[in-house]
Structure 1
Amino acid sequence: MKRFAITGVGGFVAPRHLKAIKECGGEVVCALDIHDSVGIIDSYFPQAHFFTEFERFDRHIEKLKREKSGIHYLSICSPNYLHDAHMRLALRNGAHAICEKPLVLTPWNLDALLELEREHQRHIYTILQLRLHPKIIALKEKVQSELAKNPNKIFDLTLTYITSRGKWYFISWKGDESKSGGIASNIGIHFFDMLQWIFGEYKEVQVHHSTPQTKAGFLELQHARVKWFLSVDSQTLPPIAIANNKPTFRSLQIDENEFEFSDGFTDLHTESYKNIMQGQGFRAIEAKASIDLTYKIRFLEPICGDMLHPFLKENNALYSSK
């Protein structure tokens, strides 16, 4: 049985990791969160030691290592800005790290972690669950098939992702760009990784609209032109979402055809863990392209570009308020 520790066990995504570890036959032996509302542990690993202070958690893991029991993996569900420190904790204690996106907020932090991987001879795995989605795998295969026939083909894409968040969001660490990386890193990185995985790495990126709640722009990939729109502001929801009382709107149009992938997410974390525990998970280096891109987006000044997302064209007030 593989032994796990987990950080950020009180967070939104942690239950998916707990479930995946349980279903893959692992055991969580200790957990960390600064908040103590973590009763979710009882549903999976009630015997796990729990800590609210990093120092005591660190000491406990080191103690396990000295006692020759140790941990095999550290699952990291903590706030984005802590990922770097928690991955380092795993490596120096002889464990592999399994970390949620984004791995880190700056490209040079990733470079340092890649060096530490080699130094400690342990791996950092990242959760890139969209790459395991059956419909997205099928899309990649279709794109590769079309490119085999026409290597110069450029696809036209429109990506829209709105996930409404209340006032709490900007009081929490997620609303602090220095801690979350802003919405491009916090909610957009999933899609930026997916698009580069399918259509090739980016050549150019523009930002046309930027507020703490909403970012929009244009992305040129090796084989695609992408108009993208990301928001946590419910005021940007389209009429169809409002009419159906839906707080989230997700759309990906490819050459004006809607690509539907709203379902099929239920077990993707479990699939990720199965692959990781077989030594076949996504390694840290595979996150490099999306980390480079989101870091650049974070600091770009908005410009008046030609390739506007339709939401910007339809809402002049939104666009002019950039």
Structure 2
Amino acid sequence: MKRNFALIGAAGYIAPRHMHAIKETGNTLAVAYDINDSVGIIDSLAPDAAFFTDFESFYEYAHCLRRRQATALDYVSICSPNHLHHPHIAAGLRLGCDVICEKPLVPTPSLLDELSLVESETGKSVFTVLQLRHHQAILKLRDKVASARPDTKFDVDLSYITSRGKWYAASWKGDPRKSFGVATNIGVHFFDMLHFIFGKQQASVVHYNAEHKAAGFLEYERARVRWFLSIDASDLPVEVKGKTTYRSITVDGEELEFSEGFTDLHTMSYVEILAGRGYGLADARQAVEAVNAIRNSRPNPSHAERHPFTQRLLA
């Protein structure tokens, strides 16, 4: 059965992955919206899609599509800036659609509760893209942890440095009122991954939190995690100089290799959602709670469980 989709945030970095996923799952992108009009990629994926640069016209058009069963929208996919996720999700639900939204769904647990109310009012559901839960290396590690002795706690170092140029500060991503800070913007899917593998979070300490980087310690039922996140190229290790990204997870000193295998994860997420196996508000809660606590914590650099890169910052 072919479904009709709308897309909010069509000019964003992640939007093409959603457009590809809609097409590759055999569905139709009927209408798209963005305040920017650099959306030429639509020509190769959904050339017949209507497009709007003001939300009011988009919403009215989408609402009118409901008059005919053949054109009525089934899903609204959301790739807009982080601070707009909540109103855009609510708008999609009130259009009578299920909603697929990029992470972070919202910045606070209270807004998850609000969206749960809108779900109840509309009878529609919110799904989020937690693509790392579909990565084969992550699933293999999760199985390994599950098969270990129940009292085993793993020692984990998580490092993610994805260098960004001067444009970043000028964009919404550089405004903490819109992105909610670097730990939320680039880290939320890693915190979800840690919860997915190692269970319930038990403790959190922030060692460092600044405009371009953040670091801390998290304890889960099955792991102690030292984490470091940065968009500053000067944090890249010497051995990867010349590259723009460094991603590393070590578990009890053993490197987890997951630099590959990301290409089709959004499409896989769509397949699962359309089959009724998507991740909803309850699944997103732990990561939302984690990044909300990090944003609101006063850094405590004296805590002993510091990431090696943090040691260098505080030396």
Residue of structure 2 aligned with 1:113, choices 108, 112, 115: 115
Aligned match of 2:74: 72
Aligned match of 2:271: 274
Alignment of 1:3-42 (within 5 A): 3-42=4-43
CA distance in 1, matches of 2:145, 2:298: 32
Aligned match of 2:249: 252
**TM-score, normalised on structure 2?**
0.97
CA distance in 1, matches of 2:216, 2:107: 20
CA distance in 2, matches of 1:112, 1:201: 23
CA distance in 2, matches of 1:6, 1:156: 41
Aligned match of 1:212: 211
Aligned: 1:55 with 2:56: yes
CA distance in 2, matches of 1:301, 1:162: 22
Aligned match of 1:221: 220
Aligned: 1:284 with 2:281: yes
Aligned: 1:167 with 2:170: no
* Code of the aligned partner of 2:314: Y
CA distance in 1, matches of 2:122, 2:237: 49
CA distance in 2, matches of 1:162, 1:259: 16
Aligned: 1:307 with 2:305: yes
**Which secondary structure does the structure 1 equivalent of 2:164 belong to?**
coil
**Which secondary structure does the structure 2 equivalent of 1:178 belong to?**
helix
**Structure 1 residue 31: Cα displacement:** 0.3
CA distance in 1, matches of 2:269, 2:209: 33
**Structure 1 residue 319: Cα displacement:** 1.7
Aligned match of 1:193: 192
**Structure 1 residue 61: Cα displacement:** 1.0
Unaligned runs of 5+ in 2: none
Deviations 1:99-133 (A, max 9, x none): 00000011101111112112211110100000001
Residue of structure 1 aligned with 2:132, choices 130, 140, 143: 130
**Would you say how many aligned residue pairs link Structure 1 and Structure 2?**
312
* Contact 1:252–1:258 (CA under 8 A) maintained in structure 2: yes
Residue of structure 2 aligned with 1:293, choices 281, 284, 290: 290
CA distance in 2, matches of 1:255, 1:171: 39
CA distance in 2, matches of 1:238, 1:134: 26
Aligned match of 1:97: 99
* Code of the aligned partner of 2:44: S
**Structure 1 residue 67: Cα displacement:** 4.0
**Which secondary structure does the structure 2 equivalent of 1:261 belong to?**
coil
**Structure 1 residue 218: Cα displacement:** 0.6
**Structure 1 residue 138: Cα displacement:** 1.0
**Which secondary structure does the structure 2 equivalent of 1:60 belong to?**
helix
Aligned match of 1:231: 230
* Code of the aligned partner of 2:292: Y
Deviations 1:286-309 (A, max 9, x none): 000000000110121111210110
Cα RMSD for the two superposed structures: 1.0
**TM-score, normalised on structure 1?**
0.95
**Structure 1 residue 153: Cα displacement:** 1.0
Aligned match of 1:261: 258
Unaligned runs of 5+ in 1: none
List, as ranges, runs of 4+ consecutive aligned residues in structure 1 with deviation greater than 2 Å.
66-69
CA distance in 1, matches of 2:125, 2:276: 9
* Code of the aligned partner of 1:42: D
* Contact 1:114–1:285 (CA under 8 A) maintained in structure 2: no
**Which secondary structure does the structure 2 equivalent of 1:138 belong to?**
helix
**Which secondary structure does the structure 2 equivalent of 1:39 belong to?**
coil
Aligned match of 1:319: 314
Aligned match of 1:45: 46
